[in-house]
Structure 1
Amino acid sequence: MTGTPPPAGRRPTAFRLDDRKVRLTDDEDKMPSADEALITQAFLEDDEPRLPRTASTPKSGFKFGKWLIIGLSGLVSLTIGLAVDSLIRDLFARTDWLGWLGVALATLAALGLLGLALREVAGLMRLGKIDKLRERLSEAAENDNASAATSGLKELLALYRDRPETAQGRKALAGHMREVIDGRDLIKLAERDLLGPLDLEARRIVMNSAKRVSIVTAVSPRALVDLLAVLFENLRTIRRLSALYGGRPGTLGFLRLARQVLTHLAVTGGMAAGDSLASQVLGHGLAARLSARLGEGVVNGLLTARIGIAAIDVCRPAPFVSGTGPSISDFMGELVSLAKKEDPQDTN
């Protein structure tokens, strides 16, 4: 019995499953030697026919929710328009100069609304461009594609061409692109010379935010204050990291970015990982040396740091190729040291 066909020139041979010459393998293309048999994982799995994927896929019907939103938005817009029209007519009925003043103010408001809409669209397009650039560079690094890496790095240089603090890194990277022909190495050099200073500042932003959350939640008397402080710091950190890496999102772009961060946390299991790590650290003697409030502050600081790490992964226009990026352990030591300094019960 074997899960792979015998090599050419080899006669069929019977083996017992408990024979030492029978081995399991995950490689279905691997050929057995003359005196052994290979059992693949696919051979052991159940080969019963399965229903098509469409059988468990929800069918898309009419988007009644979208109809509701569009209808309500239209009614609100008509209400505002009619109210403005009625106001301007009343102003003209009183005196002409009040009517023209109302027209000027309405025009100014319309221009402001148009500007906000254009800024939101530009912010969404910028975030989409960064997401696509990160995917392209990740694929170029994985396949070691020099042409794709060069094309993506040119877009990265264009993204930071108006940032004076990146001038030295852009100059160094431009020189590397003329000399280095390996795609993966080019992306590593971009990570070191161009994105390195930004990564260092991003770590400082996350570390300072985690410290503030740790201190505030340790000294605040009410849970509502803790919740508001954590929410404010996390949103502030996401916006600052996005601006640091070139996102500069508007309101809609920021909401999209926050959703991407939460999705990233859900996919990577980041919240659970951070909580588990914090519990492990506190369980190895830290809880015995810190008060309950300061211990809770450390945990909240670590979770804030984990959200910051997820925001770095989402906002960064290039993947981490030469390393894995920041981790919880990078922030834990400083948070624990800060908690010990603030703890009046610490006698060490």
Structure 2
Amino acid sequence: MTGSQPPSNRKPTAFRLDDSKVRMTDDETRMPSAGEALVTQAFIDDEEPRLPRAASTPRSGFRFGKWLMIGLSGLVSLAVGLAVDSLIRDLFARTDWLGWLGVALAVLAALGLLGLVIREIAGLMRLGRIDHLRDRLQSAADADDAKAASVGLKELLTLYKDRPETAQGRKALAGHMREVIDGRDLVKLAERDLLSPLDLEARRIVMNSAKRVSIVTAVSPRALVDLLAVLFENLRTIRRLSALYGGRPGTLGFLRLAKHVMAHLAVTGGMAAGDSLASQVLGHGLAARLSARLGEGVVNGLLTARIGIAAIAVCRPAPFVAGTGPTISDFMGELVSFAKKEDPVDKS
């Protein structure tokens, strides 16, 4: 324990670190006395000295790529503005009514651009609100905090106040909030009364999407067609699930949502899990009962279902507390039965 060798006539002795005979010292040359153990700084520190954290932290320098994008965007904006200005001047030079028509169309285009910007900002804010609400309800359920759960559920009721299909669930949940005390139970009741109809519809959306993918990839002659069909169907499913749970993202919001879905898949290892599960089922006799193309379609359908499951977890404004949420096994049985009905080999 010390920097120097102990005396040769001293027998090895074991000490607990909280023993009163254990002493801390910075002097590595000090020799321990009888019945004493010395712990030096060299023993506490790592065997090899480490560099400071700043050595591995990227330095914040000039972001030339950001400057490039800002400059190009500004030049494009100026070019468009000058082109419109030149066009309107030419129209006025021809005749006044053409000039005023050009002005009106330019104003209409500007209003449309402003509306698009406002819609994109509102969509991003709505998605952020849903993410924040889900985290708040998860924390309230974990801590069994009734006050935090009530605040979060009031925000959830506000989110669905314009949805007629949630009227019955909102009424039941409002009654529970006046009676139930436990925060975790409140979140469970919200999941049962308010979100369960939406969850059921979300499962239908994912199941139908998986069926379409399995059929298209089974009958299409080209791999490129398979890829485009799967990509289109997955993006369509993510957008529909977001609208179902109240997200309604714009273009930028949708890209952000798709990024979150892919991140969720990466964190949970969902693609690998779905692939191994599909391979396991296909290896236990399903491949012998289905044609090769339709078996491949089933695998693609299962992977599409896995992406849908991740999209449900990202788009849903509340966590799954009472249960674990949908799993790939929930879709496998129906998807396999559907594939067997559509398989020409099985029919013959």
- TM interval, shorter chain, is 0.7 to 0.9
- Partner residue in 2 for 1:319: 319
- Partner residue in 2 for 1:157: 157
> Equivalents in 2 of 1:304, 1:198: separation in Å?
19
> Equivalents in 2 of 1:333, 1:60: separation in Å?
53
Aligned-partner residue type, residue 296 of structure 2: E
- Partner residue in 1 for 2:216: 216
Q: State the shift of 1:56 in Å.
A: 2.9
Does residue 291 of structure 1 match 2:291?
yes
> Equivalents in 2 of 1:53, 1:192: separation in Å?
48
- Partner residue in 1 for 2:10: none
Moved more, 338-347 or 255-264: 338-347
Structure 1 or 2, whichever has the larger Rg, is: 2
- Partner residue in 2 for 1:139: 139
> Equivalents in 1 of 2:285, 2:208: separation in Å?
25
- Partner residue in 2 for 1:100: 100
Aligned-partner residue type, residue 231 of structure 1: L
Aligned-partner residue type, residue 245 of structure 2: Y
Give per-residue Cα distances to partners, 1:153-203, cap 9 Å, x unaligned.
Answer: 000000000000000000000000000010000000000000010000000
- Partner residue in 1 for 2:300: 300
Aligned-partner residue type, residue 287 of structure 2: A
> Equivalents in 1 of 2:15, 2:253: separation in Å?
56
> Equivalents in 2 of 1:201, 1:113: separation in Å?
34
Aligned-partner residue type, residue 90 of structure 1: D
If the length of structure 2 is used for normalisation, what is the TM-score?
0.86
Does residue 269 of structure 1 match 2:253?
no
Aligned-partner residue type, residue 78 of structure 1: L
Give per-residue Cα distances to partners, 1:191-221, cap 9 Å, x unaligned.
Answer: 0000010000000000000000000000111
- Partner residue in 2 for 1:184: 184
If the length of structure 1 is used for normalisation, what is the TM-score?
0.86
Q: State the shift of 1:61 in Å.
A: 2.4
- Partner residue in 1 for 2:90: 90
Q: Is the 8 A contact 2:133 2:317 kept in 1?
A: yes
Q: Is the 8 A contact 2:341 2:347 kept in 1?
A: no
Q: Quick one: structure 1 residues 333 and 2, their matched pair in 2 at CA, closer, same or farther if it must change by over 3 Å? A: farther
Q: Structure 2: any 5+ residue segments left out of the alignment?
A: 1-13, 23-44
Alignment coverage as a number of residue pairs: 313
- Partner residue in 1 for 2:237: 237
Give per-residue Cα distances to partners, 1:84-142, cap 9 Å, x unaligned.
Answer: 00000000000001000000000000001001100000000000000111111111111
- Partner residue in 2 for 1:340: 340
- Partner residue in 2 for 1:206: 206
Q: Is the 8 A contact 2:123 2:247 kept in 1?
A: yes
> Equivalents in 2 of 1:212, 1:114: separation in Å?
37
Q: State the shift of 1:59 in Å.
A: 2.7
Q: How does 1:2-41 map to 2 (within 5 A)?
A: 5=18
Q: Quick one: structure 1 residues 51 and 81, their matched pair in 2 at CA, closer, same or farther if it must change by over 3 Å? A: same
Q: State the shift of 1:291 in Å.
A: 1.1
> Equivalents in 2 of 1:193, 1:3: separation in Å?
57
> Equivalents in 1 of 2:334, 2:53: separation in Å?
49
> Equivalents in 2 of 1:54, 1:185: separation in Å?
46
> Equivalents in 2 of 1:111, 1:238: separation in Å?
29
Give per-residue Cα distances to partners, 1:16-64, cap 9 Å, x unaligned.
Answer: xxxxxxxxxxxxxxxxxxxxxxxxxxxxxx9546545444333332222
Q: Quick one: structure 1 residues 196 and 5, their matched pair in 2 at CA, closer, same or farther if it must change by over 3 Å? A: farther
> Equivalents in 2 of 1:3, 1:237: separation in Å?
61
- Partner residue in 2 for 1:59: 59
Give per-residue Cα distances to partners, 1:275-313, cap 9 Å, x unaligned.
Answer: 111111101111111111011000000000000000000
Does residue 250 of structure 1 match 2:250?
yes
Give per-residue Cα distances to partners, 1:246-298, cap 9 Å, x unaligned.
Answer: 00000110011011111111111111111111111101111111111011000
- Partner residue in 2 for 1:226: 226
- The RMSD of aligned alpha carbons is 2.0
